[in-house]
Amino acid sequence: MRYVLLISCVLLGGCDAIRSTTDRVFGKSEATDEATPAVVEAESEVPEAAPVSASAGWVGAKTTIAGLGDPTTLGRWMQTPLVDAEVTARVVVPKTGAQAYITLVPAPGPDGGGSRLSVDAMRALLVPFDELVEVQVYVD
């Protein structure tokens, strides 16, 4: 009887995880009303703006120490004082060799100051959430 109860709890918990994952993949929102499809269709007709190509002002790699940023902010980003404008860069963890393309977001502080990584960026770089990690940032 204990095993049946334990298995049913695990299965019910898994259903919520599966539903939330499929909602994120297929773009369903929590509020399902009749007006949502019309808004989505209207937005899809608007052409997207071309990405802005910004230079960070250096060639090669810059090294910074990064920790976990705000876990409630979605996306793959790194807040860092290394840049003055948002730019996409390749971030490498020299210790493991893991790398990912991440949007660099300007943050106040000196160039040698620390950086903050999003949860998605930390997952992409395969680093633990509770540690500071040294990363190399390549803009070009």
Could you read off the pLDDT of 42-87 as tens digits, one per residue? 444 434 433 444 445 667 788 999 999 999 999 999 999 989 999 9
**Averaged pLDDT, 11-19:** 55
- CATH of 61-138, picked from 2.40.40.10, 3.40.50.720, 2.40.110.10, 3.30.365.10, is 2.40.40.10
In the block, tokens 């899809």 appear at: 44
Could you read off the pLDDT of 88-139 as tens digits, one per residue? 999 999 999 999 999 999 998 887 789 999 999 999 999 999 999 999 999 8
| Residues 107/80, Cβ–Cβ less than 8 Å | yes
Closest among 107, 47, 105 to 75, alpha carbons compared: 105
The whole-number pLDDT of residue 41 equals 41
The whole-number pLDDT of residue 112 equals 74
Please report which helix (H) or strand (E) contains residue 97, including its range. none
- Reading the block at residue 66, the tokens are 């990064």
The whole-number pLDDT of residue 12 equals 55
pLDDT greater than 70 at residue 4: no
